[in-house]
Amino acid sequence: MTRKVALVTGVTGQDGSYLAEFLVEKGYQVHAIARRTSSFSRDRIDGLRDRARENGQTFELHYGDLSDSTSLNSIVATTRPDELYNLAAQSHVGISFQQPEYTTDVVATGVLRLLECVRSMGLDTRFYQASTSELYGAGIEVPQSETTPFHPLSPYGVSKLYAFWISKNYRDGYGMHVTNGILFNHESPRRGENFVTRKTTLELARIRQGREAPLRLGNLNARRDWGYAKDYVEAMWLMLQQDTPDDYVIATGETHTVREFVARAAEVAGFELEWSGEGPQEKAHDRKSGRLIVEIDPAYFRPSDVELLCGDGSKAKRTLGWEPKVKFNELVEILMKSDLAALGLD
Ligand code: NAP
Ligand code: G4F
């Protein structure tokens, strides 16, 4: 039996690393694109090639960049993937305000470059585009589903809007098998350290260890629908197993404020937070020790922020048979316990 070939972009990131592992275990020949960086950023996929080889499986890395068509053309032509998962992005919403042009090049035009590779080579590749709940932005309707109008509020969100529509355009116009997964926030111990969940658990673990406090955060009132990244990569794969390409919301259907995330993580870390003040003056002290644990740093406020995300994943449940296994409380525990354990704490 010939093995299916998958090509994954963004493999050194949170989702790409879980997805590559998942596909290797499913028996795919997995090829992945990593960009050149001046210091190596491969911790999340360390050892995957050796593990795959030991089990007679394939995991191969190629140098490429979403801003560079030449590399993308060459990799797509060589690997001729059955399934292509485009996860690469400048994925930090806050930073997209500081690097709007670069974000647009990678997050918007980058997708067009990849789609054009597949189209111009006449391949039958099934294409997954990493779309996002940031598309909903101003929150015209709650919960948000596949039919909720989009109103992005950041250069990242606007770039993902182009990526969503160009993907749909290649599906409708050229009959290509292109699917958008509209994923709500999903986290894990592999989450980048400057996203609010991981920043919180990492800093709380350091504070527990006796290192410098406090944790400095921006908007605590924003609400997010947080799921577990390992669950969500399975949904990506299920989407490409459907004969007909489509768009799917992947979410838990629960929404919590950043403040609730921080309070729950602090509880797991052994603190009991007492909140005081409002707006930029808001603070949280540990009730037992009186220690200042959280304060507001306006540097983390965004020019415009998405205030409320809560997804309706009923289409994914109906069509893909997919449901989240991990919900909020367990997710916070997974992250907090992992960062405590990394410092030898429990
Ligand atoms: P992540 O951890 O930030 O990973 C992003 C990946 O993209 C990294 O491998 C990064 O490589 C790579 N990349 C960045 N710029 C690139 C370029 N110019 N060329 C090639 N590769 C580049 O993101 P994630 O959380 O795994 O998210 C995966 C995808 O899903 C992203 O497209 C994100 O926008 C989208 N998404 C994420 C969420 C979420 O909650 N996690 C929700 C909805 C959608 P380096 O390691 O070299 O930086
Ligand atoms: O963790 P965040 O940076 O994630 P955000 O902006 O929701 O974006 C993530 O999820 C999107 C899906 O909805 C993805 F498309 C995107 O790629 C990324 O993975 O921020 C969450 C909330 C925001 O409201 C932010 O203003 O937390 C607030 N926040 C408060 N203090 C903070 C901080 N965010 C960060 N990163 N750092 C803070 O100190």
One digit per residue, pLDDT tens: the chain, 346 residues?
678 999 999 999 999 999 999 999 999 999 999 999 988 889 999 999 998 998 898 999 999 999 999 999 999 999 999 999 999 999 999 999 999 999 999 999 999 999 999 999 999 999 999 999 999 999 789 999 999 999 999 999 999 999 999 999 999 999 999 999 999 999 999 999 999 999 999 999 999 999 988 999 999 999 999 999 999 999 999 999 999 999 999 999 999 999 999 999 999 999 999 999 999 999 999 999 999 999 999 999 999 999 999 999 999 999 999 999 999 999 999 999 999 999 999 8
**Residues whose CB is less than 8 angstroms from the CB of residue 147 and which lie 6 or more positions away in sequence, other chains included:** none
Look at residue 2 in the predicted model and tell me its pLDDT: 76
| Local structure of 315: helix, strand or coil | helix
Question: Catalytic residue at 148?
Answer: no
Query: Could you give the angle at the alpha carbon of 315 between the alpha carbons of 310 and 321, nearest 5°?
Result: 110
How is the chain split among helix, strand and coil, in percent rounded to 5?
Answer: 40, 20, 40
Ligand 2 center–CA 185 separation, angstroms: 8
The radius of gyration of the chain from alpha carbons, rounded to an integer in Å, stands at 20
CB atoms within 10 A of CB 325: 12
Q: Is 133 in the pocket of ligand 2 (CB under 6 A)?
A: yes
Catalytic pick from 156, 170, 232, 248? 156
Question: Catalytic residue at 323?
Answer: no
For ligand 1, mutation pick of 15, 37, 224, 236 (most atoms within 8 Å of CB): 15
Give dist(CA 80, CA 110) in Å, integer. 18
Return the ligand number nearest the Cα of 300.
Answer: 2
Question: Catalytic residue at 228?
Answer: no
CB atoms within 10 A of CB 26: 13
b/e map 284-293, b = 16+ CB within 10 Å: bbbeeeeeeb
Look at residue 16 in the predicted model and tell me its pLDDT: 98
Give dist(CA 214, CA 285) in Å, integer. 9
Look at residue 40 in the predicted model and tell me its pLDDT: 83
